[in-house]
Amino acid sequence: MSRRHELEQRLRKLGEIGEIMRSMKNLALMETRKLARFLDAQEESVHMIEMAAADFLKFHPNIDYQAIAGNQIFLLVGSERGFCGDFNEELLNAVGSQTSPDSPILAVGGKLCTRLDKHPCLMGQFDGPAVAEDVPKTLNQLIPAIGRLQDTQACHGLTVLHHRSGIEGIARKSLLPPFTEGSKPEAALSHPPLLNLSPESFFAELVHHYLFAALHEIFYTSLMAENQRRIQHLEGAIQRLEEKNENLARKSRTLRQEEITEEIEVILLSVEGNG
């Protein structure tokens, strides 16, 4: 096979790879648009629960999850798929700088779990969501694991390390104890809320709903950041691939011109020999 034919074969393969990467980029772009709709609804849901908690705690200030807070569980939300740059590497760096030495770690996302597999504090690893529709399935496996750690190791605190689009580095969100982080919404009620449960039972149920809603928001946010990284990573890879294609195509054209020149020379020599 001539060198030019080898170059043309390589160009065809790179063209196929380029089409695959463009398809992956388009899928990631579609996912970010879908996640934007999911996030709007989920952020509103979390805000409503926080408002209900503010109203409740205004009239029941002695009910405080903080009283039974123990050691922290650290939940790391990584990626299930690749092609997202240093997404998981940044989380690995955060393990040493932001987690406590003896605190149990739960890791989500196949790519992250592979890197954390031998960590001495790793107490659970879970497949991460690839698309927004996978989030409930992941949480249905994760939340019972959090409950087991709370029961067996007296770990009543929960801190999540994850990516959040629009901010640099790793976001840190404390979910348990609940309703203690950031600016709290003002209580809207002037009279105590009417409850069908005891205040303790109501607050326990409220915390359960808050945890489920807040984790949904965190996972949607992480997926958004992951897909934005994937788009950026693939755009750079596609640009480099196009530059490489152009360089190979230029070499192929040069070789073809050389072959044509050689063919012309052979024809001229043949004509002179016959003459």
Domain ranges of the chain: 25-183+203-230
Q: Is the dihedral of CA 164, 166, 168, 174 positive or negative?
A: negative
- Tens place of pLDDT for every residue, the chain, 275 residues? 478 788 888 899 999 999 999 999 999 999 999 999 999 999 999 999 999 998 898 888 888 665 454 578 999 999 999 999 899 999 999 987 887 778 899 999 999 999 998 899 999 999 999 999 999 999 999 999 999 988 887 777 899 999 998 888 899 999 988 888 765 666 666 788 888 999 999 999 999 999 999 999 999 999 999 999 999 999 999 999 999 999 988 888 888 888 888 888 777 777 766 65
pTM across the whole model: 0.86
Find, among 102, 75, 71, 73, the residue nearest to 91 by Cα.
Answer: 75
DSSP structure string for 156-170:
-EEEEEE--TTSSS-
Partners of 176 in the β-ladder: 158
Q: What CATH code is assigned to 25-183+203-230?
A: 3.40.1380.10
Query: Which helix H or strand E contains 121, and what residues bound it?
Result: none
- What angle separates helix 199-274 from helix 135-153, to the nearest 10 degrees? 130
